[in-house]
Structure 1
Amino acid sequence: MRRRRMVRNYDPDRPVPPEVVERLLAHATRAPSAGFAQGWGFLVLVEEADRERFWATTTPEGQGMTGWLTGMRRAPLLVVAHSNRAAYLERYAEPDKGWTDRDPARWPAPYWDIDAGFASMLMLLTAVDEGLGACFFGFPPQQVEGYREAFGVPSDFSPIGAITVGYPAPDHRSPSLKRGHRPPDQVIHYGHWTGRPAI
């Protein structure tokens, strides 16, 4: 847990071994999901041409190879995580759940996205265990349709983010880290939001 961080630069000459790719994905599918709906889908891009197509369709015009994208584009593996809301609405209309109206307003939060996020975190942690670096990131909503068309993604699957994976290369620490971790007494509350301080 302490070694996990977002890595934004990779060694382009060291591919991720196929058996490691399989472990990353196997661990992702062990994530918890509401109603065991497992409404996720993963697009795995290992071929250079596919990765280049991903970057071409998801990078806003003018960003190109500047800034943080330079190192990110060196990653030999990309996995795009998707959620499928319909899978959850259908699952919870089954007899053991009984929400036959399939109304998404019944859900206090979009568990389809949360569960795909759980699966993504398991990939990030597995990457650390395998001696790899990884970074979860989103791409702009206006790029989603072009991405769908380029990779044939069905309309009921929504990309929640992508994960670059590879062997880390030297990079700069994110300036955001200067913010530091928020102290526990600001984020952990016992019994009442304004209750006693965290231990």
Structure 2
Amino acid sequence: MKHEINQPIKDILQEAGLYHRQLLEFNDVNSSVISLGDYILADVNGDDTIDVKDVRVLVDNKLVKVTEVDTTNALITLEKPVVSGQEVSVRFASSSVEPEYVEKVRTEALSEIISKIPCEAAWAEEYNPTLRYIQRLMAAGMLLVRDYGFNEDIENTSKDGYKKLELASEKLNTLIATVCGEACSRSAQGFATRDDGDLFSKRPHISSEDW
């Protein structure tokens, strides 16, 4: 049986506190291409893809069309060029970790859950919301634990990460005990965490506010 319960990358980043809404304002753009600097762009609509639907641009308070988003270089291309002196505002989301790495951690979390669940009954559709919640907690916890000790400006990341892993373990134990039987719940004990080094390069903060 194929087990697909993947939480969107956006939800995992939000759970970890690593997802931020941004607003950048310019008045010196003289091109159809706008650079967003060193930001790592993040998905806004929860479809795990960063594209034109995830960026909102206003020129002189009028919404304009975005035709391309270059996530590698943090560049956006507008349908029509902007003239210097026009007021440009760009709304988007960012994170301090590449989405590809979050996807890797999300896969690891799912594999961990699959290895702990001893019965197929727990994969019934009615339990999918609980399993997605467990996956979100576990993946967010892994990100926070692995970040600890490298980026000192993020306080309590290790403690918060282990708390999320502990809560994920409790929720999974409860699910297994309820659906598979009490004796099987012990198989969910002890999620693994591996330190892959410094995951997050520090990014300069420009400005941010809610959409």
Give yes or no for TM over 0.5: no
TM-score by length of 1: 0.29
Query: Structure 2-normalised TM-score?
Result: 0.28
Which protein has the larger Cα radius of gyration, Structure 1 or Structure 2?
Answer: 2
